[in-house]
Structure 1
Amino acid sequence: MSDTVLHDPGISTGQARPAGPRRTPWHLWAVGIVALLWNGFGAVDYLMTRTRNEAYLGQMGDPQVILNYIDAFPTWASIGWGLAVWGAVAGSLLLLLRSRHAVTAFALSLMGMALSFGWQYLGPPPPPVMTEGPNAVMPILIAVAAVLFLAYAGRALTRGLLR
């Protein structure tokens, strides 16, 4: 047996270790799971509305009034809504997978949101039930969350946490 001691030159000389796979930090898991849950609610809302689920829509008021408003969306606003919802879900999943494409997905989601919310604020006024109580602040919360998720993903990318 030899008296040779294995030596890691990076440790003793103060040099950085070679880049290898980094362990996923706890905050990436926490933000990714919160993002997936938050955006999952948006996906459920989108699916329930698009499948015209009257029991679900009835929780907000007259389902037919809500459906008439949504059916009047121009194509670009409808596409924007879908892009906002599914881009956010994809961004959440990609963040959990540590993919750099999470940034792109969250950015596309924000672009879709701008289209969808643009119509809701600049087009004909929505039914009162969609702008009263908690529904009055929901678009603001959704937009703030989307910006925060994009910012987090961008920072994770620049820090080398995403591949």
Structure 2
Amino acid sequence: MTDSAKAPTHMWIVGIASLLWNAFGAFDYVMTKLNNPDYMAAFTPEQQQYFTSFPLWANIGWGLGIWGAVLGSVLLLARSRHAETAFLASLVGLALSSAYQFGLHYADLMRMFGIFPLAFTVVIWAIGIALYLYARRQVAAGVLR
């Protein structure tokens, strides 16, 4: 595919949908990191303490997961082959974040939130892997350059 070739419609659909999806994660991250009182009011004091007590490495993982995905979505829309790398970095960040939450604090999560964090993280993993594989396929097809 040449530089002047039109991008397939599915790429725009996936790119816009992924950007909207990842914008929700970015909003959650920013509101939590800023400790926004209106946003944090939805959580109990114990849940708020949990979110604000992540160690540095878990915060790095969370940030890499969120911002790598947002960047991947933007790069996908820009038709850049670097979208693949950004989505892969996002998966690395998600792995770090998941290791902290489910490897070290699974009992706390279940007690405070029930099954929701586990179920939602499975969805996040599925979407993250799908976006990475999609970007990889588009690089191989020459759509992303």
TM-score, scaled to structure 2: 0.91
Match of 1:106 among 57, 64, 87: 87
CA contact (8 A) 2:26 2:66 kept: yes
Which position in structure 1 is the counterpart of 2:132?
150
For residue 26 of structure 2, what is the aligned residue in structure 1?
43
Tell me the CA shift for residue 130 of structure 1: 3.0
CA deviation after TM superposition for structure 1 residue 114, in Å: 0.1
2:38 equivalent to 1:73: no
AA aligned opposite 2:135: A
Amino acid at match of 2:61: G
Cα displacement (A) at 1:139:
0.6
Provide the rounded CA distance (Å) in 2 between the counterparts of 1:72 and 1:55.
Answer: 19
Equivalent residues, number: 143
For 1:56, the equivalent position in structure 2 comes to 39
Contact 1:130–1:136 (8 Å) recurs in 2? no
What stretches of structure 1 of length at least 5 have no aligned partner?
1-17
Q: Larger C-alpha radius of gyration, 1 or 2?
A: 1
Q: Which has the higher contact order (CA 8 A, sep 6+)?
A: 2
TM-score normalised to structure 1 length: 0.81
- Between the aligned residues of both structures, percent identity stands at 42
Q: Determine if contact 2:33/2:52 at 8 Å carries over to the other structure.
A: no
Structure 2: 5+ residue stretches without partners: none
Partners of 1:88 and 1:80 lie apart in 2 by 12
Give, in whole Å, the separation in 2 of the partners of 1:26 and 1:160. 15
Query: In the alignment, is residue 116 of structure 1 matched against residue 97 of structure 2?
Result: yes
Return the structure number with greater helix share.
Answer: 2
Q: State the secondary structure of the residue aligned to 1:126.
A: helix
Q: Where does residue 78 of structure 2 map in the other structure?
A: 97
Separation in 2 of the partners of 1:95 and 1:104?
A: 11
